[in-house]
Structure 1
Amino acid sequence: MKSLQRRLWEAVEPLHAVVYFAPETAAAAKAAGLPGWWMGYFAGRVAPLGPVPEPPVTAMLFGFAPRMVARSLPDAWEYAEPAVVLRSRMDAVEAALGRILPADAPFEELADLLEQAVIGCDFAARPLAAAWSSVARPASAAARVWLAATVLREHRGDGHVLSAVAAGLRGLDTTLTHIGTGAITREVIQINRGWSDDDWDESVGRLTGRGVLDGELRLTEAGIALRQRIEDETDRLATGPLEALGTGGAAEIERIAVPLSRRIFDDGAIPLPNPMGAPRP
């Protein structure tokens, strides 16, 4: 049975993740002066932090190979200031949600609920979520929905990193335990995270040595237990927003967000499978 925390993530994640696939986002990054898609991705993802270099970004986005981040940062800030990147990204995702979702979508009601959930976030040791929480509240309800959804998903994501590190896993190791569940494949994730074949083999060696993966890259019993501990801890660290909402508020978010998120998938705005491992709710 899925936890309420995971159900909330599945309901809301597509409202955030549309930013990674929408043509409006790529066009906005190019218009801001960023010459490549991945430069737009990394600069856009961390823009609220200011002109940060590669090492702290690799630490926060530890599922990515350091060399992949280094190809974009800090060079991106020579092309566009963080404030310009942030503004263009917000405008782009507002346009994308307006294109994909119906004009009468209940953005105002959903924005109020998601912002209530954000009040319950504890940002200790969560730099990416904390940075996005500092972004000024947008004027439009659609942009408010996206921003609040972003804070919540980065809050959960930062917690997931904390959980994985506490379990003794590195970034690629954590990804391989996800692949071991069957939720995503190597073909989907490796090219999108920048790991070389040598990196991959090294990580497989670590995990098989720990008894986490078998020879077919499937989770062993010990691996299943380890993965479950990480997911349980990730959920535990994501309880603050639910406490702020109460059971009724969480149910309301599911009621409103799930049909919108399904519409995003059904429109083809997010592929299945995807690098986030997000299912159609």
Structure 2
Amino acid sequence: MTVDSHPARRLWTAVEPLHAVVYFAPEVADAAAAVGLKGWYMSYFAGRAAPLGAVGPEAVTAMFFGFAPAKVSRALPDAWDFATPRAVLASRLEAVDRALARALPEDADLTRLATLLEHAAGGCDFGARPLAAGWSGVRLPDDAHPRLRAWLAATVLREHRGDGHVLASVDHGLDGLQASITHSATGLTDGQRVQISRGWTEKQWERALVDLIGRGVVDTDGNLTESGIALRTAVEEATNRLASAPVRTLGEYAVEEAIALAAPLSRHLFDTSEIPLPNPIGVGRP
């Protein structure tokens, strides 16, 4: 089984775009501004961390992993002086619901997909996975629309995978900046765009690049060496393994059903430019 063919990876590829609407939809940015947050990145850091409470920049830097500490500290803890975590979370959920209602096909019925993803999320193990654990505690009203139920379950699943990816990266000797550089070197994301969006200075990026060259992970042109390819493969294999609990919970046939239901919706989001390609997440059109 290749890294990309692993069912945990295939499920993520199919479902991640449904979650990722939150990062690109104007409804979400407008809602964050309406509750008092200042700028896109304050919305991003506060919105993604809101289920954990008024968490500070040190913890968010560690959990989000790929961002420069200075980037995070420009947004937190100041965000919590403008809006409470409860208000941020409520506005984010309401905005995502509106964004999906606009962005998805009018005849899209997410009832079955929501049920499958909720079942998968219920199988997550949350040890050493703070973001996934935080989002797993978010409760929606009983009458929540299936599209919002599907989004929340997709969010738990992606943060579960993301927390595991951080564990895998650290276990293989990569810090957040090095992980970003090696991920960019795979061609899945644009290195310059990642450097800027994650808040790293050119000096910090170059220093980390020199270190990776010295370790034989990348060559002087910034491309992965054979050792670097093996390292990235090992990280992704570990990530898939750590993301396997929801897949085991669903079982083979239900996983395939979830992928079949989610993939056309995700393709629609790319085809209508709701999500750009390429993107900093590194997720492609399924």
TM-based fold match above 0.5:
yes
The residue identity in structure 1 corresponding to 2:146 is: A
- For residues 149-190 of structure 1, the C-alpha deviation after alignment (integer angstroms, 9 at most, x for no partner) is 000000000000000000111101001111111111122211
Q: In the alignment, which residue of structure 1 is the partner of 2:135? A: 132
Q: Compute the displacement of 1:215 (Å).
A: 0.6
Contact 1:106-1:256 at 8 Å conserved across structures = no
Answer with 111-120 or 1-10: which moved more: 1-10
* Amino-acid identity (%): 57
Q: Does 1:69 align with 2:75?
A: no
The residue identity in structure 1 corresponding to 2:256 is: A
> Which of 222, 235, 238 is residue 233 of structure 1 equivalent to?
238
Q: Compute the displacement of 1:104 (Å).
A: 2.3
Q: Which runs of 5+ in 1 are unaligned?
A: none
Q: In the alignment, which residue of structure 1 is the partner of 2:276? A: 271
Contact 2:185-2:191 at 8 Å conserved across structures = no
CA distance in 2, matches of 1:169, 1:111: 35
CA distance in 2, matches of 1:201, 1:264: 35
CA distance in 1, matches of 2:58, 2:126: 20
Q: Compute the displacement of 1:240 (Å).
A: 0.2
1:69-218 aligned at under 5 Å gives the runs 69-138=72-141, 139-218=144-223
- How many equivalent residue pairs? 281
Q: Compute the displacement of 1:111 (Å).
A: 0.5
Q: Compute the displacement of 1:103 (Å).
A: 2.7
The residue identity in structure 2 corresponding to 1:93 is: V
Give me the TM-score of the superposition, normalised by structure 2: 0.97
CA distance in 1, matches of 2:195, 2:25: 21
Q: Compute the displacement of 1:4 (Å).
A: 1.1
Q: In the alignment, which residue of structure 1 is the partner of 2:13? A: 10
The residue identity in structure 2 corresponding to 1:56 is: A
Q: Compute the displacement of 1:102 (Å).
A: 1.9
The residue identity in structure 2 corresponding to 1:158 is: D
Answer with 74-83 or 2-11: which moved more: 2-11
CA distance in 2, matches of 1:215, 1:172: 17
Answer with 25-34 or 101-110: which moved more: 101-110
Answer with 133-142 or 233-242: which moved more: 133-142
Contact 2:121-2:157 at 8 Å conserved across structures = yes
CA distance in 1, matches of 2:79, 2:37: 7
Contact 1:129-1:155 at 8 Å conserved across structures = yes
The residue identity in structure 2 corresponding to 1:34 is: L
- For residues 172-226 of structure 1, the C-alpha deviation after alignment (integer angstroms, 9 at most, x for no partner) is 1001111111111122211110000011011101111110000111110111111
Secondary structure of 1:136 counterpart: coil
CA distance in 2, matches of 1:137, 1:116: 15
Give me the TM-score of the superposition, normalised by structure 1: 0.99
